A and B are shown apart, each in its own frame.
Chain A
Amino acid sequence: DGGITQSPKYLFRKEGQNVTLSCEQNLNHDAMYWYRQDPGQGLRLIYYSQIVNDFQKGDIAEGYSVSREKKESFPLTVTSAQKNPTAFYLCASSAKVGSTEAFFGQGTRLTVV
């Protein structure tokens, strides 16, 4: 079945560690996005990519990094520079630039221990 797969579902990070969240889609979508969700704050955009080998910062990019080496994959690295990384992370994709119906993965819950 077509869709977006995020892994892992749960992730624990120690202080000072970098961790990478995976996002894979087999929908042949051009655009992919990473959002962070905190209670009472809705979804905030971290990074987005409109095409392979290109990505732009969203509203809260500090402490995060991404890559888009393949159309299907858009991994997010949460670096040690992100001071408050505990949150629910959602990856999304849309068919093309300007197509605004986004499809979401099941999310990764990251906790700092």
Chain B
Amino acid sequence: EDKVVQSPLSLVVHEGDTVTLNCSYEVTNFRSLLWYKQEKKAPTFLFMLTSSGIEKKSGRLGSILDKKELSSILNITATQTGDSAIYLCAVDGSSNTGKLIFGQGTTLQVKP
């Protein structure tokens, strides 16, 4: 059975800290891995990763995929209170249906 596992499930840090969120997966037909940020309601798209070893960056956020280890990390440097959210990892392991398998999410709280 395809599955995606995130760790840790929750994390509390202080502003300015750097955090690393982990996502590991077991799927039959890997196509891509996606990261979403969910603050209150709708998850918003952060990154889509398809190739190993190529880091994608957006400001203080960066993510990289390791297909050999079947995993991805999401780094957030110099955290701010606005980074507090649930971070969701999802994998497309479908045969062209676009179905995403989501992990449990990591709840990040950044304290002032």
- Find out whether the CB atom of A104 lies under 8 angstroms from the CB atom of B43: yes
A15 to B59, CA, bound (A): 48
Interface presence of B13 (CB below 8 A): no
Give B5's nearest chain A residue, CB to CB: A42
- Find out whether the CB atom of B45 lies under 8 angstroms from the CB atom of A58: no
A96 to B42, CA, bound (A): 20
- Find out whether the CB atom of B102 lies under 8 angstroms from the CB atom of A43: yes
- Find out whether the CB atom of B31 lies under 8 angstroms from the CB atom of A100: yes
- Find out whether the CB atom of A104 lies under 8 angstroms from the CB atom of B99: no
A-B contact count (CB 8 A): 69
B41: which of A98, A100, A106 is its contact (CB, 8 Å)? A106
Interface presence of A68 (CB below 8 A): no
Contacts of B105 in A (CB 8 A): 42
Closest CB of chain B to A26's CB: distance in Å? 15
- Find out whether the CB atom of A98 lies under 8 angstroms from the CB atom of B96: yes
Give A29's nearest chain B residue, CB to CB: B98
Asked if A41 meets B98 with Cβ closer than 8 Å, knowing A90-B43, A100-B48, A106-B42, the reply is: no
Could you give 9 example pairs across A and B, Cβ below 8 Å?
A: A33-B98, A41-B104, A43-B88, A43-B90, A50-B97, A94-B98, A100-B32, A100-B100, A107-B42
Known contacts A48-B98, A48-B99, A100-B48; 4 further A-B pairs (Cβ under 8 A): A44-B102, A45-B99, A101-B45, A104-B36
**B residues in contact (CB < 8 Å) with A:** 4, 6, 9, 31-32, 34, 36, 41-45, 48, 88, 90, 92, 96-105
